[in-house]
Amino acid sequence: MDTQMLTYLFIGLSFALYIYIAIRSRAGSTGEYYVAGKGVHPIANGMATGADWMSAASFISMAGIISFVGRDGAVYLMGWTGGYVLLAMCLAPYLRKFGKFTVPDFVGERYYSQLARVVAVICVIFISFTYVAGQMRGVGIVFSRYLEVDINVGVMIGMAIVFFYAVLGGMKGITYTQVAQYCVMIFAFMVPAIFISMMITGNPIPQLGFGSNVAGEEVSVLQKLNGLSEELGFNTYTDGSKSTIDVFFITMALMVGTAGLPHVIVRFFTTPTVRDARKSAGYALLFIAILYTTAPAVAAFARINLLNTVSEASYEELPEWFSNWENSGLIAWMDKNEDGKIQYTAGAAMAGKPSFTDERGESGERLVSNTATDNGNELYVDRDIMVLANPEIAQLPGWVVALIAAGGLAAALSTAAGLLLVISTSVSHDLLKRNLMPNISDKQELLAARAAAGVAIVIAGLFGIYPPAFVAQVVAFAFGLAAASFFPAILMGIFYKRMNKEGAVTGMIVGLVFTFSYIVYFKFINPGANTADNWFFGVSPEGIGTLGMLLNFAVSFVVCQLTAPPPQEIQDLVEDIRVPSSAGAAGASVEVAGGQTANAS
């Protein structure tokens, strides 16, 4: 069976599994739709959390960024992993003890304000749609290559699959689907990594191979990469180009953004008890670490294989993988000096993404209609293909290539489903049930949630078809928005009794507006000014969420000191949330504003 048929088989079987789980686990109530009935085992929840969090950015794009930028790409590893620890230790158990359905639910009750709830809903929608754009784009990239369709068609196929199991199953269906997706994803990531580590270093453990010598040579993997990079005019792989302050701000934005991501936080609402929430956080960190400790090795191996394969090669000498990815529009060659060989050096080969014509050049290359740049680079490579193309570049068996396709789709679809569920629950529960239509029945609320999910999927698909940037960069913006809006409100809501609704609402608005405006200005309104000389304090748009977070904290604190303190029952609620004595007790409850009770188990 050839590679293409194996790809169809693997993707088809994985999709059939996801749809089967969704049908068997379909939600019959709002409790099952929103938080899976709070009955998910910690190990299953740990896997689901890992799949929910390890998105297309983690599986597809993170190693691609590290592969191209070297040391600077470490900010994604440090920020995302450190942020999960922060979330697991400082936020998740307390939010689970509070016992509500959504993050806006917590914000609205803790700050005894419908306005606070609405602002939180707006923040959720901003963050989730920014994040989901990267996931849908990742789906399109995988489909475009492996099913040989246009990227936009691939996005539409992904929309249809997500629509089916997200709308039907809700959190209950998504949770068990994500368990299966985690298994597919981690197996797909590790198998080619082990193969390639053996080929390049002789060591079957990628994490150890990354620090080993290249097989048959007296140089390490990183020394080999440094030498190849310098020969071709790139920056040394182990040297970074970002300033220390920018690295710090990006890492911090990713870290606190992770802790403020609503679709990750809501996973901890699905366990039976607070103790189980803590356990699931530990399991999730273990499951996540498997991929994150492997990603730097995959990045380095992919870079070595790419540089060794394409540099100074003629089109006829290139292996089949090059033309396969060329057909998808994610790699292209322009023979600028007409010597028939590929000169791969630093700098953009052409103005923008390649747009192919139906003609071939004298050297056999696919001609593109883009304008060539003046530098010597003749090769365009989309960063997002590095993980997906790596097995083909290394000439691994066809079943490994098919496996990586299934894994890439699992990564993108799992996170997209979680994000879309958060959007739909925020609209149906927090906006309709708790604000605009308080008298709707449970059945009507469930119908509204499913309708909101359907609309969200369509909008997310449009973001995937017209993406603002490559996958991981788009996701980095989402983390910045989460850092500047949710994190301070949640953290102070748990640990600072004096924080009131005026401070929290003002802080969220200031943080979100500042961060969003900064990103939009430098990325869309005036991209020509997107240089370190024009940034505030040398902080790039990817890291500005940290400054937005600091503004949020400062504004919230000042405003809360100038206004009345929260009611006594809210201060008592905060005290009760922080008490660990009933961490494993089921059935306990705490009194919240308006005489309602929140399950603390």
Q: What is the dihedral of CA 355, 357, 360, 363, to 10 degrees?
A: -20
Whole-number pLDDT of residue 28: 62
Same-domain status, 414 and 326: no
Predicted confidence (pLDDT) per residue in 480-492, tens digit: 777 888 889 888 9
Could you say which of 345, 368, 387 is where a domain stops?
A: 387
> Would you say 330 and 144 are in contact if contact means Cβ atoms under 8 Å apart?
yes
Q: Which domain range does residue 360 map to?
A: 306-387
Confidence of residue 553 (pLDDT cuts 50, 70, 90): very high
Predicted confidence (pLDDT) per residue in 64-89, tens digit: 888 888 888 888 888 878 887 887 77
Predicted confidence (pLDDT) per residue in 321-342, tens digit: 888 787 777 788 888 888 888 8
> Would you say 307 and 237 are in contact if contact means Cβ atoms under 8 Å apart?
no
Confidence of residue 599 (pLDDT cuts 50, 70, 90): very low
Q: What Å distances lie between residue 310 and 228, 234, 368, 454, CA to CA?
A: 12, 15, 18, 44
Same-domain status, 311 and 297: no
Same-domain status, 249 and 314: no
Same-domain status, 235 and 332: no
pLDDT higher than threshold 60 for residue 405: yes
Least confident residue range of 3-7, 487-491, 508-512: 3-7
Same-domain status, 290 and 324: no
SS (H, E, C) 303-329: HHHHHHHHCCCEHHHCCHHHHHHHHCC
Least confident residue range of 335-339, 468-472, 508-512: 468-472
DSSP 3-state of 356: strand
- Residue 508 in any domain: the answer is yes
Same-domain status, 378 and 431: no
Whole-number pLDDT of residue 499: 92
Confidence of residue 411 (pLDDT cuts 50, 70, 90): confident
Could you say which of 367, 387, 407 is where a domain stops?
A: 387
Same-domain status, 185 and 298: yes
pLDDT higher than threshold 60 for residue 586: no
Same-domain status, 406 and 464: yes
Same-domain status, 257 and 326: no
Percent of the chain clearing pLDDT 70 (strictly above): 90
**Average pLDDT of span 571-580:** 79
Cα–Cα distance measured from residue 478 to residue 441, given in angstroms and rounded to the nearest whole number: 33
Q: What Å distances lie between residue 541 and 9, 249, 532, 548, CA to CA?
A: 41, 10, 10, 11
CA atoms within 13 A on the CB side of 292: 22
- Residue 601 in any domain: the answer is no
- Residue 596 in any domain: the answer is no
DSSP 3-state of 331: strand
Least confident residue range of 107-116, 215-224, 496-505, 592-601: 592-601
Two tokens, residue 150: 């246009």
146-159 core/surface letters (b: 16 or more CB in 10 A; e: else): bbebebeebbbbbb
Two tokens, residue 165: 């199991």
Confidence of residue 93 (pLDDT cuts 50, 70, 90): confident
Confidence of residue 280 (pLDDT cuts 50, 70, 90): confident
Same-domain status, 273 and 346: no
Same-domain status, 470 and 325: no
Q: How many domains does the chain have?
A: 2
pLDDT higher than threshold 90 for residue 561: yes
- Residue 408 in any domain: the answer is yes
> Would you say 415 and 139 are in contact if contact means Cβ atoms under 8 Å apart?
no
> Is residue 397 exposed (0-12), middle (13-18) or buried (19+ Cβ within 10 Å)?
middle
CA Rg, the chain, in Å? 24
CA atoms within 13 A on the CB side of 123: 41
Two tokens, residue 476: 């980095």
**Average pLDDT of span 227-247:** 84
pTM confidence score: 0.77
pLDDT higher than threshold 70 for residue 475: no
Could you say which of 387, 404, 420 is where a domain stops?
A: 387
**Average pLDDT of span 507-528:** 86
Tell me which DSSP letter residue 564 carries: P
- Which of 42-46, 51-55, 238-242, 579-583 has the largest mean confidence? 42-46
Percent of the chain clearing pLDDT 90 (strictly above): 9
